[in-house]
Structure 1
Amino acid sequence: MTKRLILMRHAKSAWDQPGPDHDRPLNTRGQNSAEAMGNWLRENGYVPDAVLSSSAKRTRETFDRLGFDVPSRFERRLYLPTSEEMLSELRKESAACVLMLGHNPGIAEFAERLLSETPEHDRFYAYPTCATTVMDFDIVDWTALQYGTGTVVNFTVPRDLT
């Protein structure tokens, strides 16, 4: 059996908004990028069964603009977590295909650590806003997930789509 992870960094956020970082919304470019990424995911058949996300406003807005109506879990502990914290939360999931939304630097490190071989894309290691990696794991249950076992299915960034 195969489990699929869609690992996405939130879309571009607005820096001109006063208030805590956790509450920063998306800017116009981020809103457009999230919609484009949602369309790309659907066009390629990468439709999640569930979403696991940071509780930050920008990750929630990114998810909303992707346009998926699936069960979702927004966790404060996924706001700027380590890759170990992300792994721990992902191991609690049961869906076959999980979309995980997060932040850098953790999301980039998590993507790199999960894969057996990284994609040949010049933006993978930077993991810019709304970067998305689709990866498969030959496991029956997320509790069996180990670093270095993922196979890249696809990787893209908003600039590739516009």
Structure 2
Amino acid sequence: MSKTLALLRHAKSDWDAGTTDIDRPLNKRGKKDAPSLGRWLQRQAWRPQLILSSPAVRARQTIEAVIEQAGMQDVELRWEEELYLASRKSLLQRIRGLSQETKSVLLVGHNPGLEEVLEYLSRTAVPTTDSDKLFTTANLALLRLDGNWKDAGRGTAELVELVRPRDLG
């Protein structure tokens, strides 16, 4: 039975906020992009069973806006310290450790880890933007994994959708 994994990179953050990295909030563009992703998810009628998020302020603000717009307030949300700036290896370990009863997960985090997981799992090339960027801020990738979470490996997933806020209008 296949599993669905959504990877969400936090929306654009404010580098001029004068805070530590983990405390950087969303900037104006980020505050616009995050809700648009939530509205897109609502239109798709896709709902994860579980949301795992980095505790960084920019990740928190992103997923909170997505949840509000998508009407996913009843979905279990876990803040996981290990997801803050996690490497591909750490993210894959977390994905492989998911309960087999869980059919769909939304993972919210940071680059370069998320982008590396996307490239590693997807059996097809992930399209880049005009600037050769693969997984920019507020991008959402929906992947369908073959088999069980524990089997997540190189090329074991189909990239179903790659959503970028600029494409949502």
- If the TM-score is normalised by the length of the shorter chain, which range does it land in? over 0.9
- What secondary structure sits across from 1:135 in the alignment? strand
Residue 158 of structure 2 corresponds to 151
TM-score, length-scaled by structure 2: 0.88
Which blocks of at least 5 consecutive residues in structure 1 are unaligned?
A: none
* Higher alpha-carbon deviation: 7-16 or 112-121: 112-121
After superposition, give the CA deviation of every residue in 1:30-49 in whole Å (9 maximum; x if it has no partner): 11111000111121232211
- Residues 1:92 and 2:97 are matched in the alignment: yes
Compute the displacement of 1:119 (Å).
3.6
After superposition, give the CA deviation of every residue in 1:113-138 in whole Å (9 maximum; x if it has no partner): 11010244536843110111101012
- Residues 1:25 and 2:25 are matched in the alignment: yes
Check the 8 A contact 1:52/1:90 in 2, yes or no.
no
Residue 140 of structure 2 corresponds to 132
Check the 8 A contact 1:108/1:125 in 2, yes or no.
no
After superposition, give the CA deviation of every residue in 1:80-123 in whole Å (9 maximum; x if it has no partner): 11101001111222321100111111111111011010244536
Q: 2: CA distance between counterparts of 1:127 and 1:133?
A: 9
Residue 36 of structure 1 corresponds to 36
Compute the displacement of 1:50 (Å).
0.6
Residue 59 of structure 2 corresponds to 59
Q: 2: CA distance between counterparts of 1:161 and 1:121?
A: 16
- Provide the aligned length of Structure 1 versus Structure 2: 161
* Higher alpha-carbon deviation: 40-49 or 17-26: 40-49
* CA-atom RMSD in angstroms: 1.6
Residue 160 of structure 1 corresponds to 167
Compute the displacement of 1:156 (Å).
1.4
2:168 is aligned with what amino acid? Answer: L
